A and B are shown apart, each in its own frame.
Chain A
Amino acid sequence: MPDGSGHMQPFLDQALAGAADVPGAKVKWLSDLRGRGAAIYGDRGLPGRRDEYWRYTNLNELGKNDYQLANGTAAVDVPPLPHRAVAELASYRIVFVNGRLRSDLCVLDDMPDGVLIAGLGDMIAAAPDRLQPVLGQNLDLHAMPLAALNTAFMRDGMVLFVDSGVSLDKPVHLVSIVVPGDTPMMLQPRHLVVLGDGAKATLIESHIGGSDVAYFNNLVSELSLGERAELNHYTFQEEGPAAVHISATALNLAAAASYGGFILQTGSSISRCETRAILSGPGADCRLDGIYLGTGSQVLDNTIYIEHVATGCRSRQVYKGVLDDKARGVFQGKIHVRPGAQQTDGYQLSRALLLSPRAEIDTRPELEIYADDVKCSHGATVGELDAEAMFYLMSRGIAADAARRILIEAFVGEALSEIRLSQVAEDFSAHVRNWLNTNITLAAAE
C-alpha cells in the first residue's frame, strides 16, 4: 500500500490492529513508545534503493509474501541445536520458538544475585517500571526504519540485567528457533541487555531455522554497557534458506566499557546485520568482527555505524566475506568522529573473496571526522584466491577443491582467531568447515 510519496509500509496494519490488546497496552510510556515506532515506520516506510544505506540490499522481496505475525502458541517440535561445543557448554539458556519465550526449554537455574534473565513479555506484564528507563533509549529509530517497525510490535524477547560489579559465571545462550507453518510468518523479537558499572557477561546468540518456507525475522537488540562493563557477544546467523533476517543492534558504551562482537552469517536468503554503536564515555573500546559466507543467490549485508562521542575511544572492525555462485555481499562501515572526540583510534578492514564469476561484493567503508587528533584508517580489498597459492598446494598433490577449502579457511581464520571463548571458536570453525565441505566441491570448482 504505497502512500502519497510512493513508500510501502507493509506490516504496519498488523502492528496497529493488535495495539489495543497486547501486553502492556495500558502502560502509557510503553504504548507511546510503540506508537512512536509505528509513526516513524509509517513515515519512512520500507527502505528502498533511494535510501543511501539500503542501496545494496533490496527488500522488495518482503512485499511479495503475506507475512503474518507468529502467534507462538502452537506447540511445535524443536530441532536439536546444531552447535555441539556450545550446546555442551554450561550456560544460562533462554529459548525462543517462533519469537516467543519457551520457558520449558530454558535453563535458568541458580542465577547469581544481581542477575536477571527473563522474557520481555513477562517483564512487561510483571515489572514494566524496570524497563522504562532503558527500553528504546539507545535506539535511533529514524536511522533504522525496520527497528521502528519492531518497536511498533514489541511483544517478546530477552531481558538481561546484570547489576553493577557482578560478573556472570556462565555465558548466556540465547536461542531463537523458527519452525514455520505452511504460510509465511513474521517475528519481531526485541532483546534488551543492560550491564551495570563494572559488570561482565558473555552472550551467545543462535538464530536457527530449518525449513524452506519463507519467514521474516526482524529483530532488535539494545545493549547498554555501564562504566568499565564488559560484554562479549557471539552470533550465529543460520536462518532457513528462504528467510529474511534483519537484525538491528543498538549499542551504548559508557566510560572504559568494552564490547567484543562477532557475527557469523551463513543463513537466510536476504540478511542484514546492522550495528550502531555509540561510544559515549571516554576510553570505551568497541570491537566488531564478522564472517559472511554466501552461496546461491543470497544477499548478506553487514552494516556498521560507530559514533565516537567521547575522547580516547577505540573501535576496530575486521570483516571477511566469501561469496560463491550468485551470492552478493555488502559491507558498509562508517566511523563517525564527533567534534571533541580527540585521541580516537578507529580501524576498519573489509576483505572479500569472490569464488564465482556471478558473485558480487559491494563495499563502502566510510569515515566522517570532525576532530584532528585522531587516528582513523580503513582498508578494503576484493579479489579471488591467489593463483600461486593454489598452484603451490596442487603441485604438492592436493586436489583443487581441497586446496580451495584450505585457502578459504585460512582467509577467514584470521577473523576467527580473535574469539576468546574456545567453545565458540570451535563451533564457528566447525561451521565454516561444514559450509566449505558442502559448497566448495569438485563440481563447484569446475
Chain B
Amino acid sequence: MVANVDALEQVQSLGEQYKYGFVTDIDVDLAPKGLNEDIVRLISEKKGDPEWMLEWRLKAYRHWLTMEEPRWQKVAFAPIDFQDAYYYAAPKLSDKPKSLDEIDPKLLETYEKLGIPLKEQEVLAGVEGAPRVAVDAVFDSVSVATTYKAKLEEIGVIFCSISEAIKDHPELVRKYLGSVVPYADNFYATLNSAVFTDGSFVYIPKGVRCPMELSTYFRINQENTGQFERTLIIADEGAHVSYLEGCTAPMRDEHQLHAAVVELITLDDAEIKYSTVQNWYPGDAEGRGGIFNFVTKRGACRGRNSKISWTQVETGSAITWKYPSCILQGDNSVGEFYSVAITNNAQQADTGTKMIHIGKNTSSRIISKGISTGRADQTYRGLVRMQRGAHGARNYTQCDSLLIGDQCGAHTVPYIECQNPTAQVEHEATTSRIGDDQLFYCRQRGLSNEEAVSLIVNGFCREVLQTLPMEFAVEAQKLVGISLEGSVG
C-alpha cells in the first residue's frame, strides 16, 4: 500500500511538465471574432475556394444552425460560446513561400523547438538512421510548409495542404470530401465542414507504396482561436501509406476548441496506417485551460482486401472526445484500432472506436489501454456492428483500464450488435490497478518506485506502442513517461 501511495504522489506532482506550452510571437491575420455566414464566406474567400466549395460550406453552416450539441458523452464542460472565438488565424506571410527558406524564421524556430524539423535533410530528433518523414506543418488555421513535396510528386503521390488540393486537384477532392463523414454527420463535424481552414491531403496512386512516412504537425498558437482542420487521405488500388499526426498548443487559462475531421478511403488491396500522438495542452492541475479535442475520424475500407489501421496515443487535451472508426465495406477488409489514453489531473477522455462490418469475411481488432490518475475520468466507448451481410466476419476487442489513485474513474461502454450468425465477436475488458506485488517485485530488484511505475505502465501499453512507426514509438514511450511519472523517463 505504501508503495502505491508513493506512486500516486509522484504522479500527482506532475502536470507542470508540459514542455510545449510556449507561445510564438508572430504577426497574425485574424478574421473577426464570432461565427456567421459572412465569416464562412470570408474564410472561403481567404482560402480562394472555388464556388462549389463555398456552397458546400454554406450548406453545412445552415445545417449546423439547426443542430443541437450532443449531450450523451461522459465528459463535462461549460457550454462553449461559439461566438466568442476566432475561426481564422493565419501567420502573416508576404506571399505563399516558394521554398522553405522563405518561411518566417520564427515559425521554423517554433517547429524546431517542438522537435519537428522542417528542413528536408534532417530526420526526427534522437533517432539515427531513421527513415525520412515528409511533414505538413499546420500553424493555427493554415498550412505553413510541406516538405518533400517534389520528391513525392515524382512517384505520383500527392501530399499537400487541403486548400492546395481544392485548387489543384478538385476532381479528387469533390469525389471524396464528405464521402466518409458527410457534412451533416454530427454537430462538430458539421461545424468543421463550414469553417475548416486547412489540413492535409494525401493521394497515393494505384500500386504505389509511399516510400516515406507522411506526417502533419498541428500547432495552435493564437489565443481564442478554434482549430478546424480537415484531413483527407485516399489510397488507390494496391497503394500503401503510413501517416502520422502530432499536435501541441501553448499553455493558456481558457479552453480552446479543436474540432477536426479526418476521412480515410482505401480501395482494393490498399492500406492506410494512421498514427496519432496527441499532446495538446491538457490544462493545469486544477483543470483550467487546455484544449477541447472533439474530433471526427472515420475510414472507409471501400475495396476488397483493404485495410485501415488507427493507432492513437492520447496524453494531452483537457477533454478528448473521439472515436476513430472503420467502415468495412469491401470483402475481406480489415480494421484495426490501437489506443493508449492517459488522463491525469482534471483531464477527461471519452474515446473508443466503431467497427461497422458490412462486407464478407471482414475482420477487426480493437486494443484499448486506458490509464487514469489524479482526478481524471476516462471512458472507452465503442461499437462493433455485424450487419446482415457480414458473413464470416470477426472481431476481437480488448479494453484494459489501469487506475492509479482512488480519485479517478475508468469506464467501459462497449456496444456489440450482431445480425449475422456466422460472425464472431469477442469482447474482453478488465480494470485493475498497479499491484502491490508488481511494485514489490520491481523494487526488490533495485528499481526505484518511479522506475517501477514507468516500467509497469509501459508494459501495460506495450501492445499498442509497438504498432507505432519506430520514430514515433520512441517519442510515445517518452510521452507516456512524462504524462505519468514526472521525472521518470
Residues of A within 8 A of B (CB): 52, 339-340, 342, 352, 354-384
B391 to chain A, nearest CB (A): 9
Known contacts A369-B401, A371-B406: A359-B421 contact under CB 8 Å: yes
**Is B72 touching A52 in the complex (CB atoms < 8 A)?**
yes
Task: Indicate if the CB atoms of B426 and A384 lie closer than 8 Å.
Answer: no
Residues in A neighbouring B209, C-beta threshold 8 A: none
Which among A52, A355, A383 is the interface contact of B423 at CB below 8 angstroms? A383
How distant is the Cα of A352 from the Cα of B388 in the complex, in angstroms? 16
Residues on A with beta carbons closer than 8 Å to the beta carbon of B405: 372
**Which one of B72, B409, B427 contacts A369 once the chains associate, using CB atoms below 8 Å?**
B409
Please tell me if the beta carbons of A360 and B417 are within 8 angstroms of each other in the complex: yes
Determine if B433 and A373 form an interchain contact, defined as CB atoms under 8 angstroms apart. Answer: yes
**A381 vs B406: C-alpha distance in the bound complex, in angstroms?**
31
**Are A357 and B431 neighbours in the complex by a CB distance under 8 Å?**
no
The B410-445 residues at the A interface (CB cut-off 8 A) are 410-433
What is the bound-complex CA distance between A365 and B426, given in angstroms?
12
Beyond A366-B413, A369-B409, A372-B404, whether A377 also contacts B431 by CB under 8 A is yes
- Asked if B265 CB lies within 8 Å of chain A CBs, one says no
Partner of B415, one of A362, A372, A375, A376: A362
B90 on interface, CB distance cutoff 8 Å? no
Binary flags per residue of B384-413, CB closer than 8 Å to A gives 1, else 0: 001010000000000001011111111111
Q: Check if A364 sits within 8 Å of B416, measured CB to CB.
A: yes
Q: Which residue of B lies closest to A348 (CB)?
A: B429
CB-nearest residue of chain A relative to B425?
A: A382
Q: For residue B430, which residues in chain A have a CB less than 8 angstroms away from its CB? A: 376-377
List 8 extra interface pairs beyond A357-B420, A366-B413, A369-B409, CB under 8 A: A340-B406, A354-B420, A357-B421, A363-B416, A369-B410, A380-B427, A382-B425, A383-B421
* Count of residues in B whose CB is under 8 Å from the partner chain: 35
Nearest 5 interchain pairs by C-beta: A354-B421, A372-B403, A363-B416, A384-B421, A380-B427
**A362 and B425 contacting across the interface, CB-CB below 8 Å:** no
Most buried by B among A367, A376, A384: A367
Contacts of A367 in B (CB 8 A): 401, 410-413, 429, 431
User: How many angstroms from the CA of A52 to the CA of B417 in the assembled complex?
Assistant: 15
Contact, CB under 8 Å: B416 / A382: yes
For B422, give its contact among A52, A361, A372, A384 (CB under 8 Å): A384
B299 to chain A, nearest CB (A): 24
| B422 proximity list for chain A (CB < 8 A) | 384
Decide: A364 near B404, CB < 8 A? Known: A381-B426, A382-B418, A382-B423: no
Bound-complex Cα distance A371 to B405 (A): 8
Interface set, chain B 13-42, CB cutoff 8 A to A? none
Q: In the assembled complex, which residues on chain A have CB atoms less than 8 Å from the CB atom of B432?
A: 374-375
Question: What does DSSP make chain B's interface, helix, strand, loop or mixed?
Answer: strand
Asked if A364 and B414 make an inter-chain contact with CB atoms under 8 angstroms apart, the answer reads yes
Q: Report B-chain residues with C-beta under 8 Å of the C-beta of A366.
A: 411-414
Chain B nearest Cβ from A37, distance in angstroms = 26
Give CA–CA (A113, B413) in the complex, Å: 47
Contacts of B409 in A (CB 8 A): 368-370
> Shortest distance in angstroms between A275's beta carbon and chain B's nearest beta carbon?
19
Chain A residues near B388 (CB-CB < 8 A): 357-358
Which A residues are in CB contact (< 8 Å) with B433? 372-374
Least CB distance from A313 to B in Å reads: 15
Complex alpha-carbon distance, A371 and B422, angstroms: 39
Q: List 14 A-B contacts (CB under 8 A).
A: A354-B420, A356-B421, A363-B415, A365-B412, A365-B429, A366-B413, A366-B414, A371-B403, A373-B433, A374-B433, A377-B429, A380-B427, A383-B421, A384-B424
A334 nearest CB neighbor, chain B only: B413
Find B414's partner among A355, A370, A380, A384 (CB 8 Å cutoff).
Answer: A380
CB–CB B403/A377 < 8 A: no
Residues from chain A with Cβ under 8 Å of B418 in the complex: 352, 354, 360-363, 382
| C-alpha gap A97/B407 in the complex (Å) | 51
CB distance from A345 to the nearest CB of B (A): 11
A209 CB to closest chain B CB, in angstroms? 29
Query: How far in angstroms is the closest Cβ of chain A from B476?
Result: 24
Q: Report B1 CB to chain A, min CB distance, Å.
A: 9
Q: Which of B119-161 contact A (CB under 8 A)?
A: none
Nearest CB of A to B282, in Å? 21
Q: Which residues from B are CB-within-8-Å of A378?
A: 412, 427-429
Instruction: Give the residue name and chain of the A residue nearest to B426 (CB).
Output: A381
B411 & A368 in contact (Cβ 8 Å cutoff)? yes
Are B424 and A382 in contact, with the CB atoms below 8 A?
A: yes
In the complex, chain A residues whose CB is within 8 Å of the CB of B407:
339
Max chain B Cβ within 10 angstroms of own Cβ: one of A339, A368, A372 = A372
A361 to B433, CA, bound (A): 32
Shortest Cβ distance from A91 into chain B, in angstroms?
Answer: 39
Interface residues of B in 453-483 (CB under 8 A from A): none
Chain B nearest CB from A444 CB (Å) reads: 13
Q: Which residues of A contact B406 (CB under 8 A)?
A: 339-340, 342, 371-373
- Chain B residue numbers with a CB within 8 Å of A370 are 408-409
Return chain B residues, CB-CB under 8 Å to A369: 401, 403, 409-411, 431
B100 to chain A, nearest CB (A): 49
Contact digits for B293-308, partner A, Cβ 8 Å, 1 yes 0 no: 0000000000000000
CA distance A290 to B427 in the complex (A): 19
Query: B423: which A residues are within 8 A, CB to CB?
Result: 382-383
Residues of A within 8 A of B412 (CB): 365-367, 378
A residues in contact with B417, CB < 8 Å: 360-363
| B-chain residues with CB within 8 Å of residue A356 when the two chains form the complex | 421
A359 partner residues in chain B, CB cutoff 8 A: 419, 421
A117 shortest CB reach to chain B, Å: 41
A365 touches B427 (CB 8 A): yes
A379 to B397, CA, bound (A): 10
Chain A minimum-CB-distance residue to B380:
A367
**A145 smallest CB distance to B (angstroms):** 18
For the complex, give the distance between the alpha carbons of A363 and B419 in Å: 12
A362 to B405, CA, bound (A): 34
Contacts of A376 in B (CB 8 A): 430-431
Decide yes or no: A374 and B431 within 8 Å by CB, A382-B424, A384-B422 being known contacts. Answer: yes
The CA-CA distance from A371 to B403 in the complex, in Å, is 8
Q: Please, how many angstroms separate the alpha-carbon atoms of A441 and B471 in the complex?
A: 59
Question: A379's closest neighbor in chain B, by CB?
Answer: B428
* A379: chain B residues within 8 A (beta carbon): 426-429
Given A354-B421, A368-B411, are A362 and B416 also a contact pair (CB < 8 Å)?
Answer: yes
Q: Which residues of A contact B401 (CB under 8 A)?
A: 367, 369
Q: Is the CB of A383 within 8 A of B424?
A: yes
Q: Which residues of B contact A340 (CB under 8 A)?
A: 406
Alpha-carbon gap, A335 to B433, bound state (A): 17
Closest to B431 in A: A376
Note all chain B residues with C-beta closer than 8 A to A360: 417-419
- Give the CA-CA distance A375 to B413 in the complex, in Å: 17
CB distance from A354 to the nearest CB of B (A): 4
Q: How far is the CA of A366 from the CA of B412 in the complex (A)?
A: 5
Given contacts A340-B406, A342-B406, A372-B406, contact A365 B414 (CB under 8 A): yes
Minimum distance in angstroms from A338 CB to a CB of chain B:
10
- Smallest Cβ-Cβ distance to A336: which chain B residue: B411
CA distance A368 to B429 in the complex (A): 12
Question: Which of A339, A379, A382 gathers the greatest number of chain B CB atoms within 10 Å?
Answer: A382
Cβ-closest chain A residue relative to B1: A373
- Which residues of the partner chain A approach B427 to less than 8 Å between Cβ atoms? 363, 365, 378-381
Of all chain A residues, which has the CB nearest B383? A364
Q: Which residues of A contact B408 (CB under 8 A)?
A: 370, 372
- Per the bound structure, the CA–CA distance linking A326 and B182 in Å amounts to 32
- Which residue of chain A has its CB nearest to the CB of B397? A380
